[in-house]
């Protein structure tokens, strides 16, 4: 069987989304997704919200969507930091789940049409982050992290690898909650 790059990317992302759906959302009841297992770490709702927000922003940077806007009233930078803020307990778990899955279906659509010849190109990050109203003072770390990176890096990290990394974290949280199905 011969794989083209887009097919491989879509299937790899599909594996991560399937683990998120089945091994996290399918095993942890919505009412428990706000818990921080054994008193530490991050909640599943927060982690899913976080990874979804990064992917949505990355889609805008690569030109596959519009810049972020404040549709939920939390501010366009909400969810971008790793640390879980106090207001995260107010996130609606069903909404987080639906929006996370929808965001990664949008990523899937984008990856399905990626042309390998464009992967060395460098997206212009600053205008998108500015249009998303991300303050340089607060989000300077993000401007610096994403600046000067080729399109391939956005595909490898905020669009795919970041999800895979955090799905592993959410599975570990699920296990510490005593909810492993294995």
Q: Which CATH number is 59's domain given?
A: 1.20.120
Residue 67 domain-assigned (yes or no):
yes
**Is residue 167 included in any domain, yes or no?**
yes
Residue 181 lies in a domain: no
pLDDT at 135: 92
Contact 173, 42 (CB under 8 A): yes
Q: What is the largest CA-CA distance in the chain?
A: 49
Residue 182 covered by a domain: no
Q: Is residue 52 situated within a structural domain? A: yes
User: Is a pLDDT exceeding 90 seen at residue 67?
Assistant: no
Pick from 162, 171, 157: which is nearest to 21 by CA? 171
Stretch 69-92: mean pLDDT: 83
Q: Is 21 exposed, middle or buried (0-12, 13-18, 19+ CB in 10 A)?
A: middle
**Mean pLDDT of the region 47-54:** 96
Domain range for 139 is 5-176
Return the pLDDT at 162. Answer: 97
The number of domains in the chain is: 1
Phi, psi of 110 (to 5 degrees): -60, -50
For 138-181, what is each residue's pLDDT tens digit? 999 999 999 999 999 999 999 999 999 999 999 999 999 999 98
The whole-chain average pLDDT of the chain stands at 92
Query: Is 42 in a helix, a strand, or coil?
Result: coil
């Amino acid at each position: 069987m011969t794989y083209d790059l887009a097919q491989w990317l879509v299937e790899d992302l599909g594996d991560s989304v399937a683990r998120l759906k089945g091994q996290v959302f399918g095993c942890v009841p919505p009412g428990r997704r706000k818990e921080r297992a054994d008193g530490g770490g991050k909640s599943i709702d927060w982690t899913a919200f976080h990874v979804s927000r990064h992917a949505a922003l990355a889609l805008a940077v690569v030109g596959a969507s519009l810049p972020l806007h404040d549709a939920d009233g939390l501010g366009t930078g909400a969810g971008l930091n790793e640390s879980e803020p106090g207001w995260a307990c107010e996130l609606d778990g069903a909404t987080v789940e639906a929006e996370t899955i929808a965001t990664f279906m949008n990523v899937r659509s984008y990856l399905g049409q990626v042309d390998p010849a464009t992967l060395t190109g460098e997206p212009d990050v600053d205008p998108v982050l500015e249009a998303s109203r991300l303050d340089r003072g607060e989000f300077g770390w993000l401007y610096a992290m994403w600046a000067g990176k080729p399109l391939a890096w956005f595909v490898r990290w905020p669009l795919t690898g970041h999800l895979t990394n955090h799905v592993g974290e959410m599975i570990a949280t699920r296990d510490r909650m005593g909810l492993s199905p294995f």
